[in-house]
Every structure is written in structure tokens, then in C-alpha cells.
């Protein structure tokens, strides 16, 4: 199947464009499926990061650091972060259930270049 508009013969011998099949499928399932553009995970995370979420995170961090007696030991606190960078992070269209509010997709680009960065550091900077 090189093109979506390529002609095929249906069981009755009539010519049928694949576009017609695609849109017919969507029409038949319109109560259960919808088309939506995907959003990158970073965009979704940034929209969900409210001041209440940040306050809650720091309150929880303080409790954990107190419980583990880490307040005076920055050399014992580490953070690790992984980020991926694609050569083509564009938006894609997907078919999803109607009940789905946000379509999140990881985009691998053209496959020519995808760089993963893994960073680990301690609170003491060493």
C-alpha cells in the first residue's frame, strides 16, 4: 500500500479508494473512536506542574530528608535525569478512544538521530 488513495476492488467488484474505507471505518466507530493530534510528554508535564504540585513535592522532600537524616549530608543525596532528543520531534495524528482526553506519544523521528542524555550528580556537586 504505497498511497492511502490507492484503488482496491471490494468483494462486489466495485472500485473502492482506501480513503473511503478509512473514513467509512471512522464513521462506523464515531461513537467510540476519534482522531487527535499527539502532544509531547514534556508539554503535558509542564502543563500539569502547578504551584500546589511543587509545594507538595518540597513538603514531601523535607519529610524524607528528615526521616533519613540527610539534611547535613549533601554528598549522600543524588539525582538522576534522563532526556531524549530526536532529529524530528513533530506532531502525529492517532486514532484513540473517545474517552481519552490527551494523546501522548513518543516520537522517534526519522531514525537517523536520537540522542539520550543521562545525568547524575550529588547535592554536594561532586
Can you state the percent helix, strand and coil of the chain, rounding each to 5? 30, 30, 40
Cα 25 from chain centroid? 26
Each residue of 33-88: pLDDT tens digit?
Answer: 888 877 666 666 667 778 888 899 999 999 999 999 998 999 999 989 887 776 66
Task: Give the mean pLDDT of the chain.
Answer: 75
pLDDT at position 57: 92
pLDDT tens digits along 10-28: 555 555 566 777 788 888 8
Q: Please name which of 80, 85, 89, 90 lies closest in space to residue 115, comparing C-alpha atoms.
A: 85
Q: Does 122 score more than 50 pLDDT?
A: yes
Distance CA 43, CA 90 (A): 13
d(CA 89, CA 43): 12
Beta strands in 1-126 (DSSP E): 7-9, 15-17, 33-37, 78-86, 93-97, 114-122
Query: pLDDT tier at 6 (50, 70, 90 boundaries)?
Result: very low
Residue 106 confidence (pLDDT) above 90:
no
Q: What is the pTM of this model?
A: 0.42
| Contact (Cβ atoms closer than 8 angstroms) between residue 46 and residue 109 | no
Amino acid at each position: 500500500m504505497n498511497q492511502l488513495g490507492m484503488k482496491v476492488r471490494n468483494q462486489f467488484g466495485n472500485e473502492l479508494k482506501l480513503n473511503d474505507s478509512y473514513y467509512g471505518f471512522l464513521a462506523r466507530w464515531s461513537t467510540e473512536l476519534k482522531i487527535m493530534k499527539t502532544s509531547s510528554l514534556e508539554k503535558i508535564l509542564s502543563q500539569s506542574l502547578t504551584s500546589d504540585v511543587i509545594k507538595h513535592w518540597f513538603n514531601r522532600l523535607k519529610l524524607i530528608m528528615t526521616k533519613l537524616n540527610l539534611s547535613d549530608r549533601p554528598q549522600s543525596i543524588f539525582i538522576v535525569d534522563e532526556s531524549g532528543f530526536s532529529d524530528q520531534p513533530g506532531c502525529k495524528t492517532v486514532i484513540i478512544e473517545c474517552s481519552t482526553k490527551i494523546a501522548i506519544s513518543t516520537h522517534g523521528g526519522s531514525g537517523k538521530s536520537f540522542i539520550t542524555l543521562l545525568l547524575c550528580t550529588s547535592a554536594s556537586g561532586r
